[in-house]
């Protein structure tokens, strides 16, 4: 079955960025991910859809080992980034998370200035030169389509920004360490329609340089922004394919029922 999906998911010549193989995740006795084998293509936007509690956030977090932070987690199977097992003992998790950044549902700026929010990551990774930091801050804020709104107030607390601005700031913060993959967990669910559109436009632009994986409950959003879609149900990957195909001609009845709003 995995092969059929692989065939339906058009790969750009850049190929597969992330691959999971027979991935299971348990929170204590809760079996939250069941045997997930999938390839995520580079420089495309992959949407994760499915009803609440089906394992979308859990799956997303396995891709940069964010689940390591929960105490009762047990994982079997593999997750491979550019073909390398990210759960191998020699992997440096801080470096991994630099390569695979994450943006959360609620914008979570640090309680510091706009400038310092963006400079924080590069500084942690050893960047000290003021000129270089200035350049990274501007480039990241431009990349997240918020530069013009904040360029004259970089020293103000980030928490004074609106929710939509805070979310784009968090995207800029994620970009500042030059990741390769950006994981986004319902990045627009706390935003108004105008900010949502801005963030969606931004995601489409990011695809040129990054591999984006985004969780959404909004089917229209999945259709608008994503190239590929994965449909999860009860911890299982029910169906995966190019977004337009999956929405137009789902192979599985459960996908059909979900995307037409019969449940979830």
Ligand X SMILES: Nc1ncnc2c1ncn2[C@@H]1O[C@H](COP(=O)(O)OP(=O)(O)OP(=O)(O)O)[C@@H](O)[C@H]1O
Interacting residues with ligand X (CB under 6 A): 27, 30, 32, 50, 52-58, 70
Please identify, using beta-carbon distances, which residue of 50 and 250 lies nearer to ligand X.
Answer: 50
Q: How far is CA 170 from CA 16, 141, 161, 180, 213, in A?
A: 26, 10, 11, 16, 16
Q: What is the spatial distance between Cα 99 and Cα 77, in angstroms, rounded to a whole number?
A: 21
Residue with the closest Cβ to Mg ion? 57
Least Å from the CB of residue 66 to Mg ion: 12
Please identify, using beta-carbon distances, which residue of 57 and 166 lies nearer to Mg ion.
Answer: 57
Please identify, using beta-carbon distances, which residue of 64 and 117 lies nearer to ligand X.
Answer: 64
Least Å from the CB of residue 25 to ligand X: 8
Please identify, using beta-carbon distances, which residue of 32 and 136 lies nearer to Mg ion.
Answer: 32
Please identify, using beta-carbon distances, which residue of 60 and 144 lies nearer to ligand X.
Answer: 60
- The residues that bridge with 240 in the sheet, in sequence order, are 230
Least Å from the CB of residue 87 to ligand X: 18
- The residues that bridge with 20 in the sheet, in sequence order, are 38, 79
Question: Contact positions toward Mg ion, by CB under 5 A?
Answer: 57
Q: What is the spatial distance between Cα 123 and Cα 4, in angstroms, rounded to a whole number?
A: 44
Least Å from the CB of residue 116 to ligand X: 30
Least Å from the CB of residue 13 to Mg ion: 32
């Amino acid at each position: 079955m995995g092969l059929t999906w692989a065939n339906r998911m058009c790969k750009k010549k850049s190929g597969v960025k992330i691959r999971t193989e027979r991935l299971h995740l348990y929170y204590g006795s809760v079996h939250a991910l069941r045997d997930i084998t999938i390839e995520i293509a580079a420089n495309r936007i992959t949407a994760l859809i499915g009803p609440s509690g089906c394992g979308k956030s859990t799956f997303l977090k396995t891709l940069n080992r964010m689940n390591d932070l929960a105490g009762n987690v047990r994982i079997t199977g593999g997750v491979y980034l550019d073909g390398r097992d990210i759960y191998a003992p020699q992997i440096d998790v801080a470096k991994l998370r630099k390569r695979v950044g994450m943006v959360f549902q609620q914008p979570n700026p640090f309680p510091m200035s706009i400038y310092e929010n963006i400079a924080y990551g590069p500084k942690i990774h050893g960047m000290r030169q003021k000129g270089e930091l200035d350049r990274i801050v501007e480039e990241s804020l431009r990349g997240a389509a918020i530069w013009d709104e904040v360029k004259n107030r970089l020293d103000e607390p980030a928490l004074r920004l609106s929710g939509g601005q805070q979310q784009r700031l968090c995207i800029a913060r994620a970009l500042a360490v030059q990741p390769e993959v950006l994981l986004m967990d319902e990045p627009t669910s706390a935003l108004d329609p105008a900010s949502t559109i801005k963030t969606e436009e931004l995601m489409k632009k990011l695809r040129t340089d990054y591999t984006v994986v985004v969780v959404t409950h909004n089917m229209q959003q999945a259709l608008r922004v994503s190239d590929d879609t994965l449909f999860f149900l009860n911890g299982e990957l029910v169906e995966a394919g190019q977004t337009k195909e999956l929405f137009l001609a789902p192979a599985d009845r459960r996908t059909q029922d979900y995307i037409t709003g019969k449940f979830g």
